[in-house]
Amino acid sequence: MEHQPLRDQVAVVTGGGGGIGGGISRLFARAGAIVVLNDIDTELAETARAEIVADGGHVIMVVGDIRDRVVVAAVRDAALAAGTGRIDVLVNNVGDYRPNGRFVATTEDDWAALYAMNLEHVFRCTHAVIPTMIEQRSGSIVNVSTVEAFRGIPGNAVYSAFNAGVNAFTKSLAVELGRDGIRVNAIAPDMADTLQTPASAMLRGRDPSLVECWIPVGRFGRPDDYAQVALFLASDQSRYVTGHVVPVDGGTTAASGWYGRPERKGWTNLPDSP
C-alpha cells in the first residue's frame, strides 16, 4: 500500500483543479487526505475530481472564485463538514502571473486586481480556517508564492511585491501560531510547465535543447514536482519546519543568472553570448 502521510486528514486546496494546484490535490488524495478542492473553472475541477475518485481518493468539490468572501466561507464549511469539525491542511495556491507592462503605465485598478488575486485571498482563507486549527491545536498551512518575490521581474513589479507579501505573511504567521501547534510554510515555484505558464510559451520559438543551459536540473518543472514539496510541508514529515519559503525551481534561484553554455562548455551570465 502506498504510504499515506495525510491519511484521513482534511486538506483544503484552492485552485486545485489544474496546474500546480491540480498536482497538489491529486497527490494529497493519494496521500490519504480528504481533499476539499476549490477552483473557479468547473471543467478543471470536475476533471480533477473524477481522476481522484477513479484513483480511490476522497474529494469534495467547491466551485467558485476564491476572491469572493461567500466562496471562502463555503470552502471552510465544506471542510468542517467533511472532517467532522477538523481542518488539518490549507494550501493557498491561487495566484495569477499576468505581465502588465511598465509600472508607470499601470493603474490603481490593476493593483487592486493583482492584490485580490495574489495576496488578499491568502489573508481571507487563512483567517477563515485558523480558529479551527487553534482550537484543535494542530494544522499546516502551505502558501504558494513565486521565485519572482526574491528577484526583480520587469513588467511585473506589483505582482512580485504582493508575492513578497505572501512570503512575509508566511514567516510572521509561523512565529505567531507556533505555540498553537500550527506550522506555516510556503513554496516558491519557477519554470513550471502548466496551463498558466506552458513550456511552449516560455520557449517562444527558442531551441528546446537549450533548456538544459537555462535550468540547472535541465528541464521544466511538472505539477508533481511542486506537489511533492507541498506534501512534505503539509505532513508530519516536516513537523519541525515552520516559517520557511522553499524555492522549487530546478536550481534557477541558486544559479542567480548564470547559464550553462551549450555542449557543457562552461558557464556565462550573458545568455546571448553562448
H/E stretch holding 43? helix 42-54
Task: Average the pLDDT over 220-230 and give the result.
Answer: 97
Domain count, the chain: 1
- Domain containing 75: what range? 10-195+220-256
Q: Residue with C-alpha cell 486528514? A: 9
Q: Please give the model's pTM, rounded to 2 decimal places.
A: 0.95
CA dihedral 106, 107, 113, 116 (to 10 degrees): 100
Asked whether residue 30 is domain-assigned, the answer is yes
pLDDT number for residue 210: 87
From 77-86, 169-178, 206-215, the region with the lowest mean pLDDT = 206-215
H/E stretch holding 188? strand 182-189
Strands 267-268 and 139-144: unpaired
Catalytic-residue membership of 159? yes
The residue annotated as part of the active site, out of 97, 115, 159, 259, is 159
Q: Are 112 and 33 in contact (CB under 8 A)?
A: no
Asked whether residue 68 is domain-assigned, the answer is yes
Backbone Cα Rg of the chain: 19
Q: CATH number of the domain that 132 lies in?
A: 3.40.50.720
Distance CA 232, CA 228 (A): 6
Asked whether residue 77 is domain-assigned, the answer is yes
Asked whether residue 130 is domain-assigned, the answer is yes
Quick one: how far is CA 189 from the chain centroid? Answer: 7
Query: b/e map of 35-50 (b: 16 or more CB within 10 Å)?
Result: bbbbbbeeebbeebbe
Question: Is residue 273 very low, low, confident or very high in pLDDT (cuts 50, 70, 90)?
Answer: low
Q: Are 11 and 35 in contact (CB under 8 A)?
A: yes
Q: Are 214 and 271 in contact (CB under 8 A)?
A: yes
